[in-house]
Structure 1
Amino acid sequence: MYTPQSGITPEANTDALFLTLLINRDTTSLARIRKTCAIIPEMTTKLAEQYPDARLSSTISIGSDAWSLLYPDTRPESLRPFPEIEDEERLAPATAGDLLLHIRANRRDIVFQLMHDVLEQFGKSISVEEEVSGFRYLDSRDLTGFVDGTENPTGDSRTSVALVGEEDSEFTAGSYIHTQRYIHHLHQWNEQPVAEQEKIIGRTKADDIEFSSEQKAPTAHIKRANIKDAEGKGMEILRHSMPYGNSKEAGLLFASYCRTPVHFELMLEAMMKADEAGHYDHLMNYSTAVTGCAFFAPSIEFLTRHSD
């Protein structure tokens, strides 16, 4: 029996931290990283028990290149680098990231405490490439003003969508993670009439009602981002995206968790690349992706077994 890391399937929190890390490649550092990754779940559990109101959880995940160094004898069958896509003026870049520490809670101070404790354990074996603090905005809306995460799976479906099953038995209960940081061009967006914004998204803004198939433009965000297979079944992902922002820039830290990387890869392609009719996701005219990373979050048992 394999146990997923605590941050994969729970419902959304009010606060989150996305810490993208680079690893040092020397033998001593790699050993320390393996040991630290193995104790992060226990560190999270102990702190969560101290502050149950915080609903603290975490996920530590490993990128493709770093995996080859940390766990060279075994590998998730579909772990690969982030699929950079460029089409005309639209770019989804692939950027540096060896590890992702994703911490979630309903208390910002507890998020900080776990981050501090984990970084103490890593010591000089890693460096921080990017740190993004996410927050719940109003009633779970994106900074564009539209409700975000409406299409997320619920109940037991969260597990079946996000976690690897017996198809890759050594990595059962793991999850493929993709992150992108988008900068929203809010001034340009807010200049658009609400009716135009709704056409771009494919939903009403105030009450979050999805347009009918007839109403929905072929360039609508929710049409491009919801992929179906050959049988017409939805190729779902579990989103843990959060708004972020400061006085200089603001946007969305997009985070996809899934039992396969294929669903995210096809979704990203449909959003960024124009099809034969020239249709792409017109939300991309108002938001720019500036980072892109791919990781795998193995089970707690895998991390413990490979800690030496």
Structure 2
Amino acid sequence: MSVHQTAILDALPAHATYLSFDLQEETDASAVKAALKQIQTLVDGQRIVMGVGMALAQALKVDIPGLLEFSGIANSKVALPATPAALWLWLRESERGELLHQQQRVVQALGPIFQLQQEISAFKYGSGRDLTGYEDGTENPQNEEAVRVAIAADGSSYVAVQQWEHQFARFHAYTGREQDQMIGRRRSDNEELEDAPASAHVKRTAQEDFAPVAFVMRRSMPWTEGARGGLYFVAFATSFTPFEAQLTRMCGAEDGVTDDLFHFSHPLTTAYFWCPPLQNGHLSLAWCE
């Protein structure tokens, strides 16, 4: 029986690591499949979630319906870097020490076929806040609606990821009211502001305002590296369409109005992945056999 990777809908962990891998050049399909067999037993969908990139599907000559690479948004008013990868893993733990051990096991299983491209350390901040102090994922669907939004009929899911870096000095130069207006919610009680401008983040991304509606399941977490930090945005859905609809409006391609987030933050990466279902408690490899 195929089921979804459960962490997609579970509560956020205390700590996480996001890993992206590229394929080594001139690697044959049999070697790639052998590496996937090694990682298969580690990916339980709860402590480790895995996503497949277009580069991996192409290397194995398999067609995964709906999978594509992010290639930017036409007429965007801001920079949206496209950073594809062959494989993406979300490691989830209650404390950081075990994350290190998990990462070592993953790298050992995938090497030398896959090369680590990016490693991001993340954590849950308060009740699930961004480092600006605002609640993240307020509009996430719940219960059966969450399953409908994030999980396809076969148990698979599609995930869009972006690493956003905040310019904290720039953000803190605004008054509290100006910050609330940019987000579209009060930080103190998370109430939506009726008088927020059209450029407010909440107004730009109101999921029910799109046609068709653009609901996603957000599983984002803050990240830090030294004095740098921001939000590692993660959005699961049954296709990339709702994410692209939101991003198109955010970047001003739709009406020339850019999201106020761009006043103090910007994306460093954007990538798409397909998350296979589980089979008998472990990652299904039926898609590449």
Is the 1:86–1:92 Cα contact (8 Å) retained in structure 2? no
Which whole-Å CA distance do the structure 1 matches of 2:52 and 2:106 have between them?
Answer: 15
Within 5 Å, give how 1:1-308 maps onto structure 2: 1-24=1-24, 25-27=26-28, 28-41=30-43, 44=44, 57-70=47-60, 72-73=61-62, 75-85=63-73, 90-165=78-153, 172-212=154-194, 215-228=195-208, 234-276=213-255, 278-301=256-279, 303-305=284-286
- What is the CA-CA distance between 1:286 and the residue it aligns to? 0.9
Q: Give the alignment's TM-score, normalised by structure 1.
A: 0.85
Which runs of no fewer than 5 residues in structure 2 stay unpaired? none
**Is the helix fraction higher in 1 or 2?**
1
- What is the CA-CA distance between 1:106 and the residue it aligns to? 2.0
Which whole-Å CA distance do the structure 2 matches of 1:85 and 1:299 have between them?
Answer: 29
- What is the CA-CA distance between 1:177 and the residue it aligns to? 0.8
Helix, strand or coil: the match of 1:90?
A: coil
Give the RMSD, CA atoms, in angstroms: 2.1
Percentage of pairs with the same residue:
25
Is the 1:38–1:300 Cα contact (8 Å) retained in structure 2? no
Q: CA separation of 1:110/1:307 partners in 2, compared to 1, >3 Å: closer, same or farther?
A: farther
Which runs of no fewer than 5 residues in structure 1 stay unpaired? 46-55, 166-171
- What is the CA-CA distance between 1:89 and the residue it aligns to? 5.5
Helix, strand or coil: the match of 2:245?
A: helix
- What is the CA-CA distance between 1:92 and the residue it aligns to? 1.1
- What is the CA-CA distance between 1:229 and the residue it aligns to? 6.4
Helix, strand or coil: the match of 2:122?
A: strand
- What is the CA-CA distance between 1:111 and the residue it aligns to? 2.4
Could you say which residue in structure 2 is the equivalent of 1:52?
none
Q: CA separation of 1:61/1:137 partners in 2, compared to 1, >3 Å: closer, same or farther?
A: same
Amino acid across the alignment from 2:78: R
Helix, strand or coil: the match of 1:189?
A: helix
Q: CA separation of 1:105/1:234 partners in 2, compared to 1, >3 Å: closer, same or farther?
A: farther
Q: CA separation of 1:139/1:300 partners in 2, compared to 1, >3 Å: closer, same or farther?
A: closer
Cα deviation, 1:209-251, whole Å, max 9, x if unaligned, reads: 1123xx13111101112234666x6421011111011324111
Aligned length: 284
Cα deviation, 1:61-98, whole Å, max 9, x if unaligned, reads: 1111211213x24x332111013137576111101311
